[in-house]
């Protein structure tokens, strides 16, 4: 018997988010953390829409929103402080603004506070993982607390313990990539001396910099350190004042929260899983700060792994499902690393000729409307698209099929509630959503019953004009009104009219209405199901299982 189901190493944002997902599933979870408390200074400064959607799914978004700056504009300037480019994405496709400043310690504190809801989730502070040994039935995790060694037995261990991950070291996994030789000074200020809400990056060849508004009167400055400037120099108050002087009228009268020197890393683990040990967040991948995706990539890891790990631990899916975590997350994490590294190279040239050429290219592109929108709306940001993993494609994956992509989250109406975000209707588990059709009738009684046994919601989306028509009422089906027209627009653009949604809101499969039952059969054949006391071994391991409802009741959707 295990002491717990899952041991998470590290009480950072990834470990805390994963623990909340597992907690909602009833999974016995222990977090061990070497520190005696949360880190209390800002590190990550940008939240994206996908992370806020994940926080919504675990019922904590309302507690987190007060620590954010929504719809944050980011402007890029040249060495003469002339505008080069601007990012101000206008839409909220996934229910939340694409760019949000935030105060990480306060958000992490809300993630920690969320664990108070669960008697079966515990955090053990001032506890270092000493060793982890796995066998066929589980893992034995040796930990040291106050000098005393003890052991914890679990089914799985997940290392969310940062770039220097001890878990990764014990797994014997490589950490391939590069570390930049260039150093940067980061300075966080209280009582923001500028006060405006937006952020800027200066592609100044004399000294590239960033100035970022966070929340609660905090501003971050970052400055490139030249090779002839020593760490000892950089630590001096007069050096910091000299860096701030071009931006702050009185650099000697600022309230410094902290400052430190760091370097940029572009690295990814050789494997995110090895047997019963897995990696998430910085333990799995590190990337430069320029796209603000380090924190968000870790939250994506937790969202992708959480429902799968819970399904396997609870015996509702086979262990092979966990292989899809690496298959799905690696490609996207690699794309984010490459994008962040590329943006850093564009920003950082210190050769004036190269910088002048870069400025001309960017300005030339900005006069082309399509290229300008491409930057303004952040269309360059790689979005997850799973060709393999916990998805079932009809034939070879295509760019026109919605399968393997993250489904939108518009505001919708139900007969009981108006203007509610779609995920609040879908619940926290699987969902079968059909446009203008009764999904239970399409599936048939037997298949619909199997989906219901998995905890799946059956959803019929209609034009809002049909919301209150009761001619096809079915007690097993929730009717959703397309309040904004976004759902009709989606289905207008795709041949598929029935979607099978995973708990992380990825489209696991899609089809036309008449193939609903057949597509379900393909999914069921691909799942590790336990039925009638016997475990079904599928022809290929894929996805599975629903979560219990998250504790969230947001009724007014869209941007916060």
Contacts of 428 (CB under 8 A, 6+ apart): 24, 57, 503, 546, 547, 548, 549, 550
> What is the model's pLDDT at position 376?
54
> What is the model's pLDDT at position 374?
54
Is the predicted pLDDT of residue 560 greater than 70, yes or no? no
- Where residue 513 falls among pLDDT bands split at 50, 70, 90? very high
- Where residue 2 falls among pLDDT bands split at 50, 70, 90? low
CATH number of the domain at 411-535, please? 3.40.30.10
Is the predicted pLDDT of residue 257 greater than 90, yes or no? yes
C-alpha neighbours within 13 Å on the C-beta side of residue 530: 11
Q: Using CA atoms, how far apart are residues 388 and 259, in angstroms rounded to an integer?
A: 43
> What is the model's pLDDT at position 380?
61
Distances in whole angstroms, Cα of residue 444 to Cα of each of 450, 460, 518, 521? 10, 15, 11, 12
What average pLDDT does range 348-357 have in this prediction?
Answer: 87
The residue extents of the domains of the chain are: 6-65+102-176+267-343, 411-535
What average pLDDT does range 13-18 have in this prediction?
Answer: 98
What average pLDDT does range 446-470 have in this prediction?
Answer: 93
Is the predicted pLDDT of residue 219 greater than 60, yes or no? yes
Is the predicted pLDDT of residue 554 greater than 50, yes or no? no
The torsion angle over the Cα atoms of residues 239, 245, 248 and 250, rounded to 10 degrees, is 80
Contact present, 200 and 84 (Cβ < 8 Å): no
Q: Distance between alpha carbon 97 and the CA centroid of its chain, in Å?
A: 14
- For the segment 403-433, what is each residue's pLDDT rounded down to a tens digit? 999 999 999 999 999 999 999 999 989 999 9
> What is the model's pLDDT at position 413?
98
What average pLDDT does range 340-354 have in this prediction?
Answer: 85
Is the pLDDT higher at 390 or at 484? Answer: 484
User: Which of these ranges, 21-25, 276-280, 285-289, 300-304, has the smallest mean pLDDT?
Assistant: 285-289
Is the predicted pLDDT of residue 536 greater than 50, yes or no? no
By CB neighbour count within 10 A (0-12 exposed, 13-18 middle, 19+ buried), where does 230 fall?
Answer: exposed
Is the predicted pLDDT of residue 128 greater than 90, yes or no? yes
Contact present, 175 and 267 (Cβ < 8 Å): yes
By CB neighbour count within 10 A (0-12 exposed, 13-18 middle, 19+ buried), where does 539 fall?
Answer: exposed
What average pLDDT does range 201-218 have in this prediction?
Answer: 92
Q: What radius of gyration do the chain's Cα atoms show? A: 24
User: Which of these ranges, 23-27, 178-182, 439-443, has the smallest mean pLDDT?
Assistant: 178-182
> What is the model's pLDDT at position 538?
40
Is the predicted pLDDT of residue 53 greater than 90, yes or no? yes
Q: Using CA atoms, how far apart are residues 389 and 330, in angstroms rounded to an integer?
A: 11
Is the predicted pLDDT of residue 14 greater than 60, yes or no? yes
> What is the model's pLDDT at position 372?
63
Is the predicted pLDDT of residue 557 greater than 70, yes or no? no
> What is the model's pLDDT at position 366?
75
- For the segment 145-185, what is each residue's pLDDT rounded down to a tens digit? 999 999 999 999 999 999 999 999 999 999 999 988 889 99
Is the predicted pLDDT of residue 290 greater than 70, yes or no? yes
Q: Domain 6-65+102-176+267-343 belongs to what topology? A: FAD/NAD(P)-binding domain (3.50.50)
Distances in whole angstroms, Cα of residue 62 to Cα of each of 52, 110, 387, 559? 10, 10, 34, 12
Residues linked to residue 158 through DSSP beta bridges, in sequence order: 8, 278
Is the predicted pLDDT of residue 547 greater than 50, yes or no? no
DSSP string, 104-139: HHHHHHHHHHHGGG-TTEEEE-SEEEEEEEE-SS-E
- For the segment 371-406, what is each residue's pLDDT rounded down to a tens digit? 666 555 556 677 889 998 889 998 888 888 999 999
By CB neighbour count within 10 A (0-12 exposed, 13-18 middle, 19+ buried), where does 116 fall?
Answer: exposed
Contacts of 456 (CB under 8 A, 6+ apart): 429, 430, 431, 432, 546
């Amino acid at each position: 018997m295990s002491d717990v189901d899952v041991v998470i190493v590290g009480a950072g944002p990834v470990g805390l988010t994963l623990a909340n997902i597992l907690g909602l599933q009833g999974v016995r979870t222990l977090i061990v953390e070497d520190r005696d408390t949360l880190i209390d200074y800002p590190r990550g400064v940008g939240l994206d829409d996908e992370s806020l959607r994940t926080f919504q799914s675990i019922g904590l978004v309302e507690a987190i929103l007060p620590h954010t700056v929504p719809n944050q504009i980011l402007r890029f300037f040249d060495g003469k402080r002339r505008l080069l480019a601007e990012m101000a994405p206008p839409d909220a496709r996934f229910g939340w603004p694409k760019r949000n400043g935030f105060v990480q310690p306060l958000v992490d504190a809300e993630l920690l506070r969320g664990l108070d809801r669960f008697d079966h989730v515990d955090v053990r502070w001032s506890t270092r993982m000493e060793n982890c040994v796995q066998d066929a039935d589980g893992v034995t995790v040796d930990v040291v607390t106050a000098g005393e060694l003890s052991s914890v037995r679990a089914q799985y261990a997940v290392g969310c313990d940062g770039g220097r991950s001890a878990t990764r070291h014990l797994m014997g996994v490589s950490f391939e990539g590069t570390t930049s030789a260039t150093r940067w000074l980061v300075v966080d200020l209280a009582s923001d001396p500028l006060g405006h809400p937006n952020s800027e990056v200066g592609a100044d060849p004399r000294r590239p910099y960033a100035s970022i508004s966070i929340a609660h009167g905090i501003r971050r400055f970052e400055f490139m350190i030249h090779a002839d400037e020593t760490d000892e120099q950089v630590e001096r108050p007069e050096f910091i004042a000299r860096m701030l002087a071009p931006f702050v009228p009185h650099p000697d009268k600022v309230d410094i929260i902290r400052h430190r020197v760091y370097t940029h890393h572009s690295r990814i683990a050789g494997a995110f899983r090895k047997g019963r040990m897995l990696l998430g967040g910085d333990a799995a991948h590190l990337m430069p700060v320029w796209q603000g995706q380090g924190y968000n990539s870790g939250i994506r890891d937790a969202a992708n792994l959480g429902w799968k790990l819970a399904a396997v631990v609870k015996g509702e899916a086979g262990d092979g499902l966990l292989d899809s975590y690496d298959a799905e997350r690696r490609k996207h994490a690699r794309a984010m690393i490459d994008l962040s590294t590329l943006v850093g190279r564009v920003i950082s040239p210190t050769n004036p000729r190269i910088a002048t050429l870069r400025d001309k290219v960017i300005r030339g592109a900005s006069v082309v409307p399509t290229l300008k929108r491409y930057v303004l709306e952040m269309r360059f940001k790689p979005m997850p698209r799973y060709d393999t993993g916990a998805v079932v494609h009809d034939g070879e994956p295509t760019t026109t099929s919605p399968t393997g992509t993250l489904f939108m989250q518009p505001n919708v109406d139900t007969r009981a509630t108006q203007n509610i975000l779609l995920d609040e209707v879908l619940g926290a588990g699987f969902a079968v959503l059909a446009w203008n059709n009764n999904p239970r009738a399409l599936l048939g009684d037997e298949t619909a019953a199997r989906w219901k046994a998995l905890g799946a919601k059956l959803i019929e989306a209609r034009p809002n004009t049909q919301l209150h028509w009761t001619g096809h009422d079915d007690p097993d089906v929730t009717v959703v009104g397309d309040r904004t027209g976004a759902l009709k627009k989606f289905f207008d653009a795709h041949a598929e009219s029935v979607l099978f949604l995973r708990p992380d809101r990825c489209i696991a499969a899609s089809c036309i209405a008449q193939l609903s039952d057949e597509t379900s059969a393909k999914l069921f054949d691909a799942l590790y199901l336990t039925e009638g006391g016997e475990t079904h071994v599928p022809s290929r391991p894929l996805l599975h299982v629903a979560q219990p409802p998250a504790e969230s009741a947001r009724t007014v959707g869209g941007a916060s």
